[in-house]
Amino acid sequence: MWQLLQFPLCPFSRKVRLLMGEKGIAYSLVRENPWEYRDEFLHMNPAARTPVLVDSARNLTLSDSVAITEFIEETSDTAPMISGSATYRAEIRRLVAWFDQQFYGDVTAPLLHERMKKRLVHRQPPDSSVLREAMRLANGHLDYIDYLIDHRSWMAGSTMSMADLAAAAQLSVADYLGGIDWSGHEQTKAWYSMFKSRPSFRPLLSERMEAITPPSYYEQVDF
Amino acid sequence: MWQLLQFPLCPFSRKVRLLMGEKGIAYSLVRENPWEYRDEFLHMNPAARTPVLVDSARNLTLSDSVAITEFIEETSDTAPMISGSATYRAEIRRLVAWFDQQFYGDVTAPLLHERMKKRLVHRQPPDSSVLREAMRLANGHLDYIDYLIDHRSWMAGSTMSMADLAAAAQLSVADYLGGIDWSGHEQTKAWYSMFKSRPSFRPLLSERMEAITPPSYYEQVDF
């Protein structure tokens, strides 16, 4: 069986877990704190990032969340999440990169640094100006998601895709860390509320990161 | 015909151009300086990054270099660069992400900022401590590439792949900006020398960015 090395607030691990959940692929979780740079972990992934997906029986060690999700797409024939025409697939992948890189860089990464790493690793208080800027940028991102959802049924078009999973992964971590102000973003809120009720998402939402408490509405479908 | 919006030192545009060159796909170049945030360009790609690949006749606008290269792979049947077993394809994609993100973040991005953007946009001198750190990290990256080439014929295994194109794209920009010290890296040097002689690479190496001169050996196959 697959083992997924991750920590509860890793958005890239969440993206892979949502995909495996949607496809009904079984896996067990192994806790990894990439910021500890454990030798064995660096040997598995020199980039020192989670997720890493391992199947010891088959001697397989996969890393990089895009490489992993493409691998899962190619080796599973249920619930394809990068499907349709080549143009539609390019739009799905463009949006995955948008959430993995732009949303992560603007919002999730600074929130994780200020509210998780500073608390667990550096024992420092968060920098409120960095938090304010991340929340300001989050608001701009929600405007863009509102626009997408207004013009399409799902993030990339008429079907649920990897783009929705990548978006939900980043948004859920940012929401856990109190970085999302949902007011005025009814389209994104409705999409996220629907997403929260999916069986692939429930187990992620019930997990907690030690010493960090999410807002009271974090797990609720109506929020 | 395809139009590629790019600037001469964009490593992600170089990756796409190497792929199109290897496949013999024709395109024309359109100069875009993403740091000018031109409205029309932001409309094409809200991430404000090059490359953007356009075919006006077919009303196609593609952005994000990974989405573009996957699109080209899926719609062309010559010279596949993401091929082989699912496991091999995962290794190719892991290394593409390595060069696009780790190498770029550690080496190419700081070099571009200090030696190109500061000169062309901010009219400031480069920060020599940032340059030193980028060159120190570049040396570590070359050690890793030496190790890969020592164990494999090409970057990801027995065939030339997207991983080689991603590596050559980043390395060539870093080399143009004087950030690579080749001494002591014979394996990587031999691989890069061979790569420099490929017809897909020659046109890129002969281009110049205004106001920035590469080292004298930059274009030479023997260096």
**Could you tell me the residue ranges of all domains in chain B?**
2-75, 86-206
Query: What's residue A17's pLDDT?
Result: 98
CATH of region B86-206, choose from 1.20.1050.10, 1.10.357.10, 1.20.1270.360, 3.40.50.720: 1.20.1050.10
In DSSP notation, A9-71 reads: T-HHHHHHHHHHHHHT--EEEEE--GGG--HHHHHH-TT--S-EEEEGGGTEEEESHHHHHHH
Give the pLDDT band (50/70/90) at residue A146: very high
Residues B176-186: pLDDT tens digits?
Answer: 999 999 999 99
Q: What is the mean pLDDT of chain B?
A: 97
B2-75 is classed in which CATH architecture?
A: 3-Layer(aba) Sandwich (3.40)
Query: What's residue B137's pLDDT?
Result: 98
Name the residue among B21, B12, B163, B24 with its Cα closest to residue B95: B163
Query: What's residue B49's pLDDT?
Result: 98
A61 neighbors A50 (Cβ within 8 angstroms): no
B52 neighbors B67 (Cβ within 8 angstroms): no
Q: What is the mean pLDDT of chain A?
A: 97
The answer to whether the Cβ–Cβ distance between A74 and B62 falls below 8 Å is: no
Give the pLDDT band (50/70/90) at residue A193: very high
- Structure tokens given for B39: 């409205």
Interface of B with A (CB under 8 A): 46-47, 60, 62-64, 66-68, 70-71, 74-75, 86-87, 89-91, 93-94, 97-98, 101-102, 144
Report, as an integer, the average pLDDT of A5-22.
98
Closest residue, chain A, to B141 (C-alpha): A46
The answer to whether the Cβ–Cβ distance between B66 and A93 falls below 8 Å is: yes
Query: What's residue B198's pLDDT?
Result: 96
- Structure tokens given for A167: 């978006």
Residues B165-212: pLDDT tens digits?
Answer: 999 999 999 999 999 999 999 999 999 999 999 999 999 999 999 999
Report, as an integer, the average pLDDT of B26-33.
98
Interface of A with B (CB under 8 A): 46-47, 60, 62-64, 66-68, 70-71, 74-75, 86-87, 89-91, 93-94, 97-98, 101-102, 144
Name the residue among A168, A23, A34 with its Cα closest to residue A83: A23
Residue B123 sits at the vertex; the CA angle it makes with B119 and B129, to the nearest 5 degrees, is: 65
ipTM above 0.90, yes or no: yes
Cβ neighbours, 10 Å, residue A43? 9
Residues B105-152: pLDDT tens digits?
Answer: 999 999 999 999 999 999 999 999 999 999 999 999 999 999 999 999
Calpha distance A126→A118 (Å, rounded): 7
Secondary structure in 3-state letters for B10-28: CHHHHHHHHHHHHHCCCEE
Query: What's residue B57's pLDDT?
Result: 95
